[in-house]
Amino acid sequence: MLSGRKRLQTENVFGKEREFFMQMTLRGYGSRVDTGTLQQIRQIPGVTGVSSTLYDTAPGDVWELDAILALKKEIEDAGLSLAGIESVNVHDAIKAGLPDRDKYIDNYIATLENLGKADIHLVCYNFMPVFDWTRTELARLRPDGSTVLAYTQEAVDNLNPEEMFSSISSDTNGSIMPGWEPERMEHIKELFEMYRNVDDEALFANLKYFLERIMPVCDKYDINMAIHPDDPAWSVFGLPRIIINKANILRMMKMVDNPHNGVTFCSGSYGTNLENDLPDMIRSLKGRIHFAHVRNLKFNSPTDFEEAAHLSSDGTFDMYEIMLALYDIGFTGPIRPDHGRMIWGEVAMPGYGLYDRALGAAYLNGLWEAIEKSHKNK
């Protein structure tokens, strides 16, 4: 489906010019969760697809082919494509390297097999212990009246893990936050005990074991596995974090050197550590970035940041340079604006209101068009 995609650049292959494309998408949470509809997403200029998942499945479950096809049909009936799965969550037994991990890896392989049969070729996932992401505020008020997700290390330092969920649960707007499901948070003590003896090296070893097991089915169906970085990019509550910087992600690429072992490049997650040079990281990962999440953060201090509008001047990141780096490496794949502000009175899942993400998509498409045209004229 090339309609609506932005032409990236051409490369001379055997004397012929080959075009590359990227696809602007949004994350979709399904009709039972999203306040914005697929029909509204389709009306955002230049957005032609969504990434989504099966929200009734638990980590470790096998995704049934009929359920995958139903999800795909719902999206395609709205005039969009299912650009990829975000996410097929990895069971904690796999991450922690427990004796029963092979059972859950077998189930993961069965899910990938069914995704391949459904002609789906991208899976975003993470390998973060316990918390998929961490924020200390879900509705920080900004001077313009919008509210945003925010994080302060000082707040985390004054909490114990069991208090983390209750400290933010009142600001969810009735949504179930992915990775923070109440039934999961009820077992937080057990989860921390599971990882008590897992350090960074053990987590790397467990990730390697997992990837080596799943690469054959990925090769069979041409499925790109795109690991999402840890958020924030440092240890929280003493838990190991490994997908945090250039050195670690290049280590991961080399330890399972298969083009299907790739990256979701999330500027907002890697960017939580101001020492990470985002454009340089992108250029170092040419051919291995399968999915891009592009968002902006505003830093009040190195350990106090909040989500910002995608416009560069509203935050800390140079969004033009991030998009230029993606262009320069010949990025092909879905890209989406990430966490937006809550604006214009919208009440929705924090970070995932429709309005500001629509503005973000339009802004990123505008940057892309300008970059593309400036390169044509050189």
Per-residue pLDDT tens digits for 84-134: 999 899 999 999 999 999 999 999 999 999 999 999 999 999 999 987 778
60 confidence band (pLDDT: 50, 70, 90): very high
13 confidence band (pLDDT: 50, 70, 90): very low
Given the residues 260, 290, 293, 310, select the one marked as catalytic: 293
**Stretch among 33-47, 156-170, 186-200 having the lowest mean pLDDT:** 156-170
In Å, how far from its chain's centre is CA 365?
Answer: 19
**Residue spans per domain, the chain:** 6-376
292 has which bridge partners?
265, 335
What is the CATH number that goes with domain 6-376?
3.20.20.150
Provide the mean pLDDT of the chain: 89
Catalytic, 352? Answer yes
In Å, how far from its chain's centre is CA 243?
Answer: 12
Catalytic, 91? Answer no
70 confidence band (pLDDT: 50, 70, 90): very high
Catalytic, 339? Answer yes
Catalytic, 293? Answer yes
List the Cα angle 238/239/243 in 5-degree steps. 125
Given the residues 34, 132, 231, 338, select the one marked as catalytic: 338
Given the residues 270, 327, 339, 363, select the one marked as catalytic: 339
Given the residues 352, 355, 356, 363, select the one marked as catalytic: 352
114 touches 63 (CB < 8 A):
yes
What would the two tokens of residue 201 be?
């090296």
Catalytic, 124? Answer no
